[in-house]
Amino acid sequence: MEQTLEKALRIYFIMGSQNCKQDPVSLLKEAAKAGITAFQFREKGKGALTGSPKLELGKKLREVCWEHQLLFIVNDDVELVDKLEADGLHVGQDDRSVQEVRDEFPEKIIGLSVSNSHEVDESPIELVDYLGAGPIFGTTTKPDAKKPVGIEWIQDLREQFPTIPLVGIGGIHVDNAASVMEAGANGVAVISAITDSVNVTHTVRQL
């Protein structure tokens, strides 16, 4: 990656086949052409693929990211990091510990989700490359999402960590994305804003 991580995380599209009404590969191609800057393969939850179909889909999505020089991050699944030659790994609070993944992948980009100060206090922030803060707004995409924390959480994190790359996640759409950036985020991470869009090109450009 030639550009800085802050810049690469600006429009961070996350999805797995379970989020898509259409073919995930075509959707990613369309979003990539329209200007997303990073992608996270998050094959997780109800209806998600496992085993070799998951790996095969991951390979196709990985190809698209290579073609468009997009950052390619995998969610949680450490097994896929090397198999898909991912640029990095994103972990939540209930996934593998940051220390473990940092030991296993010293050179990869590691992202961590944080929803409150307690999680921040309990996490080795110095070992991660970026933070995902959320859910900022209400979301129905992740059934076990915590309560929305609002853009104040971005402001708090930015104050506490002035230089760490930071993305907001959860319920972010075209009409509220600017408020997340104005609060101090480097980027917006979205699922349904793009997977549910009737005009992906237009939505990505507006984001």
Closest CB to ligand 3NM among residues 29, 44: 44
131 part of the interface to ligand 3NM, by CB under 6 A: no
Q: Please tell me whether 199 is known to bind a ligand.
A: no
Distance CA 100, CA 41 (A): 20
3-state SS record for 71-128: EEEEECCHHHHHHCCCCEEEECCCCCCHHHHHHHCCCCEEEEEECCHHHHHCCCHHHC
Closest CB to ligand 3NM among residues 5, 112: 112
Q: How many residues does the chain have?
A: 207
5 part of the interface to ligand 3NM, by CB under 6 A: no
Stretch that binds ligand 3NM, among 26-34, 79-87, 130-138, 176-184 (CB under 6 A): 130-138
Active site positions, annotated: 42, 113, 142
13 SS3 class: strand
Q: Please tell me whether 40 is known to bind a ligand.
A: yes
Chain positions contacting ligand 3NM, by CB under 6 A: 14, 113, 115, 132, 134-135, 139, 141-142, 145, 169-172, 190-193
